[in-house]
A and B are shown apart, each in its own frame.
Chain A
Amino acid sequence: MDMITDDLKTPFSQLLLSIADDKLIQGHRASDWTGVAPILEEDIAFSAIAQEEIAHAAELYRLVADLTGGNADALAFGRAAEEYRCASIVELVDEFDWATAIARHFFCDHLDGLRFGRLANSCFTPVAGLAARIQAEESVHIEHVDTWVQHLGHGGDDARGRMQQALDALAPHASMMFEATQGGELVESAGLFPKADADMFDQWLTGLKKITGQAGLTLNVTRPAPDAVGGRRGQRSGDFAELLDEMSEVYRQEPEAAW
């Protein structure tokens, strides 16, 4: 179907926003490495991934705008901090530490692979088609980040230590990506975001642990408490205010103008 009932529009757009905001902010953080990454070839590759994340976000914003009004740029740049729905893991500054950047992508890209797999089976056809395409690109991101986790895990004590530290530091934030969005159960049962056979958190963790196991790293991530409140409900981490100021610095000078 290509129409959804009014009562589902808000919960579904909350879900789509949570994913789009994750992608925009992950891509925004990643794009800041363009020109200053550790290896020239990697600079190009990581920048390509940043572009894909932001391009995916743009397409999701357009869908949301179709559902609830507004436009993609206003959604991306013009909301108040508490209106964003991303998880804290994408907001944190990486302090120019490559292990942190890789750990963030490791957690996020694996989840994207799974959630776009589910969206590809959505009963809402505009989302299903887009999700199938995004999922195909995500598999390339996953391959890229997995290779990095392996390289750093096998790259000597110093590198393994840094990678382990980054994984440990981000783990609590990673689990909060699973905080339910408002009306999340409704969109699941309506078939907009259908459940997969296996539980998504379990699948995610199994996928991650396969790689960390091979790389000689450990992973301690637990499912978030059912009543935990975080980014999906608009609670922002400390790094977000500064990020938003920076990201919308020019946009806010004249929000109505074409740039």
Chain B
Amino acid sequence: MGLSKIRQIEAHDDSELSFPPEGDAKPYEVFIQLNRGQPHVHSGTVDAVDGKMALSYAKKHFGRDQECVHMWVVPREAMISTNYDGEIIWPLTDQGYRLVRGYAIDVRRKWERFRDQEELDRYQDDDIKEMF
């Protein structure tokens, strides 16, 4: 059989390897941007010994499945994160006053004094299209 030379391995043994554990290289988080104007999104992690190597690996690994215009790699140790357990990011107090939903119903009710139903629906559609 014309099997490639490097793959013709017959010897087999389950003994321990002759060298000690090597340890892993440093993890770098990879963020890709699919098009200009879009945010960078987390795509995966590569292990590398320095940033240059990490970027080179990230390009080949995470930059080839989809078209991609830009990429960041960040050493994981440089990332500072929150904790899921008990750390508050989104305040528990109602924040309706700083959100659209805090006003939407009131505004519509108030408009009803000035406009009929059909007009109001059209206005609301336009509102969604033009303003948001």
The yes or no verdict on A and B being binding partners is yes
On A, residues with C-beta under 8 Å from B are: 32, 36, 40-42, 44-45, 48, 93, 95-96, 140, 143-144, 147, 151, 242, 245-246, 249
The answer to whether A44 touches B60, judged by C-beta atoms less than 8 angstroms apart, is yes
The answer to whether A147 touches B5, judged by C-beta atoms less than 8 angstroms apart, is no
The answer to whether A246 touches B4, judged by C-beta atoms less than 8 angstroms apart, is yes
Can you list 10 A-B contacts (CB < 8 A)? A36-B7, A41-B47, A44-B57, A45-B56, A45-B61, A48-B60, A144-B56, A147-B56, A151-B53, A249-B2
The answer to whether B56 touches A44, judged by C-beta atoms less than 8 angstroms apart, is no
B113 within 8 A of A: no
The answer to whether B6 touches A36, judged by C-beta atoms less than 8 angstroms apart, is yes
In whole angstroms, how far apart are the Cα atoms of A48 and B61 in the complex? 9
The answer to whether B57 touches A42, judged by C-beta atoms less than 8 angstroms apart, is yes
Residues of A within 8 A of B52 (CB): 147
A42 vs chain B, min Cβ distance (A): 7
In whole angstroms, how far apart are the Cα atoms of A245 and B56 in the complex? 35
A25 vs chain B, min Cβ distance (A): 14
Which one of B46, B57, B59 has the highest number of Cβ atoms from chain A below 10 Å of its Cβ? B57
Residues of B within 8 A of A249 (CB): 2
B71 within 8 A of A: no
B48 within 8 A of A: yes
B101 within 8 A of A: no
Residues of A within 8 A of B2 (CB): 245-246, 249
Residues of B within 8 A of A42 (CB): 57
The answer to whether B6 touches A45, judged by C-beta atoms less than 8 angstroms apart, is no
Contact with A along B52-83 (1 / 0, CB 8 A): 11001101110010000000000000000000
The 9 closest A-B pairs by CB, nearest first: A41-B57, A45-B60, A246-B2, A96-B6, A48-B60, A249-B2, A44-B61, A32-B4, A41-B46
Q: Give me 12 other A-B pairs in contact (C-beta within 8 A), A32-B7, A246-B2, A249-B2 excluded.
A: A32-B4, A32-B6, A36-B6, A41-B46, A41-B57, A41-B61, A44-B57, A45-B61, A140-B59, A147-B53, A151-B53, A246-B3
- Find the B residue at minimum CB distance from A248: B2
- Find the B residue at minimum CB distance from A140: B59
Residues of B within 8 A of A143 (CB): 56
In whole angstroms, how far apart are the Cα atoms of A144 and B57 in the complex? 10
A220 vs chain B, min Cβ distance (A): 28
Residues of B within 8 A of A36 (CB): 6-7
A222 vs chain B, min Cβ distance (A): 30
Residues of A within 8 A of B3 (CB): 246
B48 partner, pick from A41, A144, A242, beta carbons under 8 A: A41
Residues of A within 8 A of B59 (CB): 140
B106 vs chain A, min Cβ distance (A): 56
B5 partner, pick from A45, A48, A93, A144, beta carbons under 8 A: A93
Residues of A within 8 A of B48 (CB): 41
Residues of B within 8 A of A32 (CB): 4, 6-7
In whole angstroms, how far apart are the Cα atoms of A246 and B46 in the complex? 34
In whole angstroms, how far apart are the Cα atoms of A228 and B56 in the complex? 39
B21 vs chain A, min Cβ distance (A): 15
- Find the B residue at minimum CB distance from A239: B5
In whole angstroms, how far apart are the Cα atoms of A140 and B58 in the complex? 13
Residues of B within 8 A of A48 (CB): 60, 64
Residues of B within 8 A of A144 (CB): 56
A36 vs chain B, min Cβ distance (A): 7
Contact with A along B1-37 (1 / 0, CB 8 A): 0111111000000000000000000000000000000
